[in-house]
Structure formats: structure tokens, C-alpha cells
Amino acid sequence: MSELKADDGIDFKMHYSRLPFFLRQGEEACRRWLVDELGLPRDVERGEAMKKAFGGQRVLDHMDQLMAQAGVGPAYWGSQFADTMDSHRLAWYAATESYEKGELMWKAYSRRYFEGKDTEIRPIRYDDHKMLMECAQEVGLDLDQARKVLNSRVHEDEILKCVRQMHSVGINSIPVLVFEVDGVAQGSWLENPDSKGRKVHHGSGNKEEFMTILRDLHRVSSL
């Protein structure tokens, strides 16, 4: 964004949000992938599983490079795979307190899980209520209400509905990033992904790819 403003004079007023998604929903799916398909221990570290599943050290090197380009990192590969439903539900609750708290919750998760920062808890897993409550406290959530959320199944139906909607339009992997210009893009991105003023980007990308998308949207929305 800073480079676009300096080099092209393009100044975006940008806000963002996210929707839930599961690559492997539930403990059974995690165990089936790690133990049955990959032949690894259930508590294997994320880095070792990624190397076994996706082509060795080069996949970790590629992700390290993308994180460095984004100005975060270094990557932490010692976290473990787990059912993520509780973390989704708590983040959904955080967003009901405020948009800002919802995004801060995801940032707190991400810094721990992908960078190993801000916590002494080990192993780092998305089903660890102690870690989730640590994030809730950092973000400033109502801690009593956060505990009630974690000890219930509240927001589960809404989350599953969102995931089914994405599956219904063929989204079965992440990340998927949807860029929209308010007042230009028409309808829902699920129903009208090719609308003027909207770009849907599948997969990880680098800074140059995203700058190209933003330049294209600026040009289209200025016509």
C-alpha cells in the first residue's frame, strides 16, 4: 500500500474481514491425514508434516520467503495440527464484540501458530483452550463470556453454513482472497465473482501480484 501510494499516487482506504474454513475438520480428519495417509505420529510438528506431504524442505523455504516478503516471521514450524472449530467459534464471538477485536483475535492466533511469538505455551495447537484464552485476554474480550463460548457449541452452525457455501462454489483449499471496490462490485462474490470491481485470487501470492490486482481495480473503478 505504501509503495502504491508513493509510486503511483494510489491511496486506498482499505478494510478487510475473513470467513471460516477447514482444511481438515475435526480430530478424526487430522488423525486420518497425519497417521493413516502420511504415516507420521499424531503429535508431529507442522514443519515435518508439511515436508512429508508437499515435497520436502523446499515448501518450508517457499513459505519462509513469502513471510519475509510480507514483513513477518521468521516462520515457526513447531506448532501442531488440531481441530480448529473452537478457535473459529471464539474468533466469531470476538467479531460480535467489534470488527476490530475479531481481526485482532486472528492476528493473535497467527503470531502464535505461524511465528511462535507472544506465548510460552507449548505445543501450540488451535484446540488448546489455555492458548485461546490467552489470546482472548490479549485482545480484551469479556473473559467470562469467552469461557462460556469455548465450553459450548455457540456459533458452530453459522460457521458450518459459511464453509458449506464455499464448498458449493468449488472452494476446497485456502487461501482465497477476494478484493472488492465498494460501490462498484455488484452482489455477493459467491454468486458473482467476475463482477466489475472484484478480483478473486486463489492461492498464496507475493507483493507484486497483489499490487497488480490493486492497480487493476483502481483502473476499472476509475472508468
The residue with greater pLDDT, 51 or 11, is 51
Average pLDDT value for the chain: 93
For 6-30, what is each residue's pLDDT tens digit?
988 988 888 888 889 988 889 999 9
**Which residues pair with residue 176 across a beta bridge?**
202
The verdict on whether omega for the bond into residue 175 sits within 30 degrees of 0, i.e. cis, is: yes
For 112-163, what is each residue's pLDDT tens digit?
999 999 999 999 999 999 999 999 999 999 999 999 999 999 999 999 999 9
Q: pTM, whole model, 2 decimals?
A: 0.86
Q: Which residues contact 97 (CB under 8 A, 6 or more apart)?
A: 141, 142
For 212-221, what is each residue's pLDDT tens digit?
999 999 998 8
The predicted structure's pLDDT at residue 15:
82
Reply yes or no on whether the pLDDT at 173 is more than 90: no
The predicted structure's pLDDT at residue 146:
98
For 191-208, what is each residue's pLDDT tens digit?
899 999 999 999 877 888
The predicted structure's pLDDT at residue 205:
78
The predicted structure's pLDDT at residue 71:
86
Q: Copy the grid coordinates of residue 18.
A: 475473513
DSSP 3-42: HHHHHH--------------SS-HHHHHHIIIIIIT---T
Reported confidence tier of residue 222, pLDDT bands at 50, 70, 90: confident
For 87-125, what is each residue's pLDDT tens digit?
999 999 999 999 999 999 999 999 999 999 999 999 999
CATH numbers and ranges of domains, the chain = 2-16+174-222 (no CATH), 26-157 (3.40.30.10)
The predicted structure's pLDDT at residue 13:
86
The predicted structure's pLDDT at residue 174:
86
